[in-house]
Amino acid sequence: MSTLDPTSLDVPAIQALLAAGATAVDVTQAYLDRIDAVDGGLGAYLHVAGEAALARAAEVDAARAAGGELGPLAGLPVALKDVFVTEGVPTTSGSRILEGWRPPYDATVAARLKAAGTVVLGKTNMDEFAMGSSTENSAYRPTRNPWDPDRIPGGSSGGSSAAVAGGLAPWALGTDTGGSIRQPAAMTGLVGHKPTYGGVSRYGLIAFSSSLDQAGPMARTVLDAAVLHEAIGGYDPRDSTSIDAPVPVLVKATGEGARGELAGLRVGVVRELGGDGHTDGYDAGVLDRVRETVELLAGMGAEVREVSCPAFDLALPAYYLIAPSEASSNLARFEGMRFGLRVGDDGSHSLEEVMSLTREQGFGPEVKRRIVLGTYALSAGYYDAYYGQAQKVRSLITRDFTAAFDDVDVLVSPTSPTVAWPIGARVDDPLAMYAADLCTLPASLAGLPAISVPCGLSEGLPVGFQVMAPALADDRCYRVAAAVEAALDAARGARFLDQLTDRTGAPA
Ligand code: GLN
């Protein structure tokens, strides 16, 4: 079944197979077989919806045979981060406190993907309540990086990144509060995009930090990511922060980028994110790849200049006050009464005791740390000094972006200061874990779109290049990412031809 080898298929390749007569059941089965074969070791999925997926694929095949109306993504498998509620399908957000819960409805993004004809393979592993950068905070099991099983796949959407990078799903949805789509994409050689805040519905997304949370695509190519983003994006009256604007036109922008149409584009390289005087904690290999990528863009006609955004230096402390503050409020709903786990409900405990036992056993250490931190930052007497101050920093960061975008069209940086680190290396050091988010936090705090696109390897591991744009200009991220992708593909092709020539002694 070499034509149905999931490790080598992007979305157009699957669509070509479907057009040539492969059934959606064949395609789905190929992914389920791959999951069966390797997920025991990888840990990408928390729940595999095998039977439901095959039944859904059979429906698509029947509709096709009957000449019925097919959705634009008919028969394409997809994986969903376990933070999205899915009707009748277990949804845990990576936490024991939601173990056994089967939601009564679909998140808007899940409903949109269903309506488009996709086949949901299952729910992917994640850091508990999306708090983490390595997927080691999952209450169930860690996920491994398909590039090197002894390393983390990034987080918190590490199940989604490992699934796509390992060929256990063609593409997947993740969520990004402070970097959780972009960083795991960078760690596994994928494309990951955090949309403009409000560009994709949060309805049915289990809330971590509501003013930051945003769902988005994780895929093998920029085009695949754009297709998935267009399918989930756009206004949703059920999310009060949803922007009432047309779905952004992304696939077209991807085509323009792939053709190298960048002449005149003004690119700002952010000094505070790995530039002169700001290289502490960055891998030299990461900085090299990013520098080469910037040179590539200049070679395509982009005007490159360095830009300073001084408040970015404060993004980390501001984020780690704002996000836990919002989390401490959002997570109050998990009290053992309405969803999932309930501990001590044997008649010998009071209501308060049941709630506290449930939370004691249901939440993991990082979630507890965040709740305590957030509650402290919001408490009377400390509110102004911590939460209030962090909100001021958030405004300064937004102001830096606004000033920068007066002069440039996009800002670029590494996605992550380092490549994927060994499993276990940072679990006892929360600050080292938080430092992984250095480059992704500014766009999160300002609500701006940002993409991570692979830009080569360092120490044999993938490096991500981040492109940030003004609100609602997600298309710029895709255009630049597609240009980078195409240029690197061409360079790889040229290297391959060189090697071929070396070996055969003649031009290929
Ligand atoms: N790593 C960051 C955190 O732990 C971001 C997580 C996210 O984007 N969900 O909060």
Whether the CB of 323 sits within 6 Å of ligand 1: yes
Q: How many residues does the chain have?
A: 508
Residue 426 inside a domain? The answer is yes
Tell me the residue range of the domain where 243 lies.
6-314+393-496
Whether the CB of 132 sits within 6 Å of ligand 1: yes
Residue 148 per-residue DSSP state: B
Whether the CB of 133 sits within 6 Å of ligand 1: yes
What is the sign, positive or negative, of the torsion defined by CA atoms of 425, 433, 202, 173?
negative
> What is the reported pTM?
0.96
pLDDT at 502: 65
Q: Residue 296, Cβ neighbours under 10 Å: how many?
A: 18
pLDDT at 1: 43
> For 27-47, how does the pLDDT look when each residue is reduced to its tens digit (9 = 90+)?
999 999 999 999 999 999 999
- Annotated active-site residue 348? The verdict is no
Give the residue, by CA position, lying nearest to ligand 1 atom 5: 178
The one catalytic residue in 157, 161, 180, 209 is 180
Pairing of strands 461-468, 191-194: unpaired
pLDDT at 508: 43
The one catalytic residue in 81, 114, 123, 194 is 81
We report the CATH number of the domain holding residue 177 as: 3.90.1300.10
Residue 368 inside a domain? The answer is no
Whether the CB of 179 sits within 6 Å of ligand 1: yes
The one catalytic residue in 156, 161, 325, 328 is 156
Report cis status (omega within 30 of 0) of the bond before 379. Answer: no
Give the residue, by CA position, lying nearest to ligand 1 atom 10: 131
Whether the CB of 177 sits within 6 Å of ligand 1: yes
Whether the CB of 134 sits within 6 Å of ligand 1: no
Gap between the Cα atoms of 379 and 64, Å rounded: 58
Cα 205 to ligand 1 centroid, rounded to whole Å? 15
Work out which ligand 1 atom sits closest to the CA atom of 320. 10
Residue 398 inside a domain? The answer is yes
pLDDT at 494: 79
Cα 179 to ligand 1 centroid, rounded to whole Å? 6
pLDDT at 506: 54
pLDDT at 170: 98
Whether the CB of 178 sits within 6 Å of ligand 1: yes
Whether the CB of 146 sits within 6 Å of ligand 1: no
Gap between the Cα atoms of 96 and 140, Å rounded: 8
**Main-chain phi, psi angles of 451, to 5 degrees:** -120, 150
Give the residue, by CA position, lying nearest to ligand 1 atom 4: 132
Buried b (16+ CB within 10 A) or exposed e, 44-68: bbbbbbbebbbebbebbbebbeeee
- Domains: count for the chain: 1
Gap between the Cα atoms of 440 and 273, Å rounded: 10
Closest alpha carbon to 479 in 451, 455, 454: 451
- Annotated active-site residue 81? The verdict is yes
pLDDT at 505: 58
Q: Residue 210, Cβ neighbours under 10 Å: how many?
A: 15
- Annotated active-site residue 252? The verdict is no
Token reading at 392: 């001021």
Residues facing 80 on adjacent strands: 123, 173
Axis-axis angle for helices 24-42, 11-19 (nearest 10): 140
Gap between the Cα atoms of 276 and 4, Å rounded: 47
Q: Average model confidence (pLDDT) for the chain?
A: 96
Residue 377 inside a domain? The answer is no
Work out which ligand 1 atom sits closest to the CA atom of 131. 4
What is the sign, positive or negative, of the torsion defined by CA atoms of 415, 420, 423, 429?
negative
Residue 193 inside a domain? The answer is yes
Cα 306 to ligand 1 centroid, rounded to whole Å? 28
pLDDT at 101: 96
Burial of 23 (C-beta count, 10 Å sphere; 0-12/13-18/19+):
middle
Q: pLDDT tens per residue, the chain (508 residues)?
A: 446 999 999 999 999 999 999 999 999 999 999 999 999 999 999 999 999 999 999 999 999 999 988 999 999 999 999 999 999 999 999 999 999 999 999 999 999 999 999 999 999 999 999 999 999 999 999 999 999 999 999 999 999 999 999 999 999 999 999 999 999 999 999 999 999 999 999 999 999 999 999 999 999 999 999 999 999 999 999 999 999 998 889 999 999 999 999 999 999 999 999 999 999 999 999 999 999 999 999 999 999 999 999 999 999 999 999 999 999 999 999 999 999 999 999 999 999 999 999 999 999 999 999 999 999 999 999 999 999 999 999 999 999 999 999 999 999 999 999 999 999 999 999 999 999 999 999 999 999 999 999 999 999 999 999 999 999 999 999 999 999 999 999 888 777 777 766 665 554 4
Closest alpha carbon to 185 in 150, 224, 213, 142: 224
Q: Which of 161, 177, 197, 322 to mutate to test the pocket of ligand 1 (most atoms within 8 A of CB)?
A: 177
Gap between the Cα atoms of 290 and 306, Å rounded: 13
Amino acid letter at 243? I
Cα 18 to ligand 1 centroid, rounded to whole Å? 37
DSSP states along 69-101: ---TTTT-EEEEETTB-BTTB---TT-GGGTT-
Residue 350 inside a domain? The answer is no
Cα 315 to ligand 1 centroid, rounded to whole Å? 13
Residue 343 inside a domain? The answer is no
> For 208-239, how does the pLDDT look when each residue is reduced to its tens digit (9 = 90+)?
999 999 999 999 999 999 999 999 999 999 99
Residues facing 412 on adjacent strands: 269, 467
Residue 346 inside a domain? The answer is no
DSSP states along 188-242: HT-EEEEPPTTSB--TTBPPSSTTT-EEEEEESSHHHHHHHHHHHBS--TTSTT-
Q: Which of 81, 131, 187, 326 to mutate to test the pocket of ligand 1 (most atoms within 8 A of CB)?
A: 131
Task: Decide if 265 contacts 480 (C-beta within 8 A).
Answer: yes
